[in-house]
């Protein structure tokens, strides 16, 4: 079978025989892959002019809904993906992480896009900046999608997750993708992309796939493109220094393999729950995906007086690991992805053994299925480095397989120093029941790590584990780990967008941003804004209410009703050396009274109060002061219509409470649910 490339809106077979892709367990040919004859410049041109154009027309909510629909579709096809995944050497658990973990990224980004982003094709960032004395000239920041393409150069170890965790973000941002999976396992990526295209959920040009070589693709990138790379640091550095990347300042995000660590706390003793958690976590990170994870634990840092106990417990647990073809029942660890990977890992183990001794390595392991010669099997291996400050190979050489090295430390400063000697890591974990030890490790290690996991008996049952990057959190790390970051929830979306400062009159920027800007026009109408349906409201629509005097009786009554008898609200208090001159109205009374002034009581388009986003009490209001409210439509957020629910949207209102001196005493943003037109 020859794999197909999906470029310029059609499936295309590369010329020539192509590279043979082998079953990792048996060495049998699974498929051939070639991209020969594909014009990579045209591929990128198509993405920019077709895919980008189509995606930019959609709002964040549109894209979010499509991500959810795509996740549901792929989930319905997962059994076929599992069947293919076994050929990569992945067990059922390995495949679950890759396949359903990848699909999970689509669900998460769909939800965050619809909950945290506006129903517009752009994003308004932060608060306005007043740039002039009179307030007629202001500034703001917006994010818009880049007018290019995301080029994803992915690693062999996660052919599904590696693609989906990236495209979930760039598609939500409104930027198309060209996916270049590692050729060795690209047959699984191809199967998933076939379903993405067949679903017809995303518009034409949103995604393209190159299964064979993409050498030369960087010759065609522009400053509107974004390149992401996952793989070895050496390859990443070579690509990052490409002339075109440097000359055009093309954003290049690198997530490289790193020498991650796991630190056992000084407080943890054999037999404790934390000790068992530690052994289980380290063993899992050695054997899941046969240790072929960029987040796997390569350096196991333990108190010097515990190193023997840890070595024995870890060896005992690893002895139970059954190795073989993942399709055979009972196999808990499969092969590496290829013979080349096996040879590379064995070579790195040999290098490490020059300065480390072997603690555990069952070279005569029993093989359940597969071919010992043609399959890429490597048994779990535990090494020990007695002097990690002198013999630094353990901090420089990574065996990208089922391998870890035990490293002793004496005192917290040594543990921190050893963790840092990895020269930048994706993740480190700390297993301890001592919160002060955890604090010291975080403060000492955070600058060298992209993520830190603190594990103890209180969170271990629900923990996602050392090796599992989560779409809500940043995945990346400094130094050796590449210096970049992926995912991170909405933070990741902004990697594919351009932040632009805009300046002008508040009324103009209100029109541009679709968010009311302070100082902008506030037209008033005879119709109360609460009598308007969602579609009829315009940003800036304003109601100025009648005035109300604040009395002593109001304050006393509110104190009795609420139970808030703070001294400042009592007339007989001593106000010397306080912030107040005399009895002052409760802030919550002011905002409640404000609602009494602006709320339109009869049943109408306003369905319910949805909450308060921001509330500030700026100036005290004393007995005898008067207040009135300027209620302004600040922002509108359409909601998806659902069966058996009244079609509606959320409206944000600016509530400006003004005192008798014309100054703002309180400022709030309230939200209401407003019905759409019948």
Q: In this structure, what token pair is assigned to residue 189?
A: 């990526």
- Measured distance CA(455)–CA(441) in Å, rounded: 12
Please state whether beta strands 177-180 and 150-153 pair in parallel, antiparallel, or not at all (unpaired).
parallel
Q: Which residues contact 518 (CB under 8 A, 6 or more apart)?
A: 128, 130, 135, 138, 506
Q: In this structure, what token pair is assigned to residue 438?
A: 């955890």
| 595, burial (CB in 10 Å: exposed 0-12, middle 13-18, buried 19+) | middle
- Per the listing, tokens 């390859």 go with 235
Angle of the 92-116 helix axis to the 60-76 helix axis, nearest 10: 160
- Measured distance CA(671)–CA(664) in Å, rounded: 20
Q: How far is CA 360 from CA 158, 270, 319, in A?
A: 27, 19, 9
Chain centre distance of CA 486: 6
What is the H or E stretch that residue 72 is in?
helix 60-76
Q: What are phi and psi of 487, to 5 degrees?
A: 55, -125
Q: Which residues pair with 527 in a beta bridge?
A: none
Answer yes or no: 294 catalytic: yes
- 204, 51 contact by CB (below 8 A): yes
At residue 657's C-alpha, the angle toward residues 656 and 663, to 5°, is: 95
Give the closest residue to 671 by CA, choosing from 645, 647, 639, 649.
649
Please state whether beta strands 4-7 and 10-13 pair in parallel, antiparallel, or not at all (unpaired).
antiparallel
Answer yes or no: 386 catalytic: no
Please state whether beta strands 542-544 and 548-549 pair in parallel, antiparallel, or not at all (unpaired).
unpaired
Tell me which of 165, 190, 255, 486 is the catalytic residue: 255
Q: In this structure, what token pair is assigned to residue 475?
A: 């995945």
Q: Which residues contact 439 (CB under 8 A, 6 or more apart)?
A: none
Tell me which of 262, 294, 356, 445 is the catalytic residue: 294
- Residues with a catalytic annotation lie at 255, 294
């Amino acid at each position: 079978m020859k794999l197909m490339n999906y470029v310029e809106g059609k499936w295309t077979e590369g010329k020539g025989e192509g590279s043979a892709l082998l079953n990792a367990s048996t060495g049998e040919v699974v498929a051939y892959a070639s991209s020969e004859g594909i014009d990579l410049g045209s591929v990128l041109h198509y993405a920019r002019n077709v895919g980008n154009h189509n995606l930019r027309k959609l709002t964040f909510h549109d894209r979010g809904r499509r991500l959810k629909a795509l996740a549901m579709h792929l989930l319905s096809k997962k059994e076929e993906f599992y069947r293919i995944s076994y050929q990569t050497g992945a067990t059922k658990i390995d495949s679950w992480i890759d396949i359903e973990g990848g699909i999970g990224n689509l669900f998460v980004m769909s939800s965050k896009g619809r909950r945290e982003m506006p129903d517009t094709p752009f994003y308004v960032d932060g608060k306005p900046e007043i740039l002039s004395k009179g307030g007629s000239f202001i500034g703001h920041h917006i994010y818009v999608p880049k007018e290019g393409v995301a080029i994803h150069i992915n690693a062999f170890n996660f052919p599904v997750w590696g693609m989906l965790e990236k495209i979930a973000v760039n598609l939500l941002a409104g930027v198309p993708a060209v996916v270049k999976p590692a050729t060795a396992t690209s047959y699984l990526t191809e199967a998933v992309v076939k379903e993405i295209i067949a679903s017809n959920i995303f518009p034409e040009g949103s995604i393209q796939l190159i299964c064979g070589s993409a050498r030369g693709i960087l010759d065609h990138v522009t400053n509107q493109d974004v390149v992401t790379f996952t793989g070895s640091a050496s390859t990443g550095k070579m690509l990052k220094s490409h002339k075109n990347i440097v000359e055009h300042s093309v954003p290049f995000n690198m997530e490289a393999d790193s020498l991650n660590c796991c630190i056992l706390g000084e407080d943890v003793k054999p037999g404790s729950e934390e000790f068992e958690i530690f052994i289980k976590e380290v063993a899992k990170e050695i054997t899941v995906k046969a240790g072929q994870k960029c987040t796997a634990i390569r350096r196991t840092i333990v108190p010097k007086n515990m190193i023997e106990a840890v070595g024995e417990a870890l060896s005992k647990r690893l002895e139970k690991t059954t190795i073989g073809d993942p399709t055979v029942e009972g196999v808990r660890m499969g092969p590496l992805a290829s013979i080349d990977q096996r040879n590379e890992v064995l070579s790195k183990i040999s290098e490490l053994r020059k300065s480390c001794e072997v603690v555990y390595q069952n070279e005569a392991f029993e093989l359940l299925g597969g071919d010992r010669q043609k399959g890429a099997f490597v048994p779990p291996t535990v090494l020990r480095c007695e002097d990690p400050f002198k013999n630094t190979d353990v901090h420089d050489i990574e065996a990208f397989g089922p391998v870890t090295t035990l490293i002793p430390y004496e005192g917290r400063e040594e543990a921190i120093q050893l963790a840092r000697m990895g020269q930048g890591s994706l993740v480190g974990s700390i297993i301890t029941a001592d919160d002060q030890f955890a604090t010291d490790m975080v403060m000492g290690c955070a600058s060298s790590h992209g993520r830190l996991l603190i594990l103890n008996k209180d969170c271990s049952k629900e923990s996602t584990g050392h090796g599992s990057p989560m779409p809500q959190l940043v995945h990346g790390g400094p130094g050796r780990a590449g210096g970049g970051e992926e995912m991170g929830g909405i933070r990741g979306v902004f990697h594919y967008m351009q932040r632009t400062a805009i300046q002008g009159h508040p009324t103009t920027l209100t029109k541009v941003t679709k968010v009311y800007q302070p100082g902008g026009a506030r037209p008033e109408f005879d119709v109360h804004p609460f009598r308007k349906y969602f579609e009829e409201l315009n940003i800036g629509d304003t109601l100025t209410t009648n005035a109300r005097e604040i009395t002593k009786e109001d304050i006393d009554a509110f104190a009795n009703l609420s139970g808030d008898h703070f001294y400042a609200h009592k007339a007989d208090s001593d106000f010397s050396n306080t912030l107040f001159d005399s009895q002052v109205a409760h802030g919550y009374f002011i905002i409640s009274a404000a609602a009494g002034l602006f709320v339109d009581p009869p049943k109408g388009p306003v369905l319910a109060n949805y909450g308060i986003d921001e509330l500030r009490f700026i100036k005290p209001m004393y007995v005898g002061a008067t207040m009135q409210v300027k209620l302004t439509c600040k922002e509108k957020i359409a909601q998806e219509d659902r069966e058996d629910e009244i079609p509606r949207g959320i409206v944000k209102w600016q509530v400006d409470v003004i005192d008798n001196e014309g100054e703002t005493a309180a400022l709030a943003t309230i939200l209401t649910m407003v019905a759409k037109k019948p």
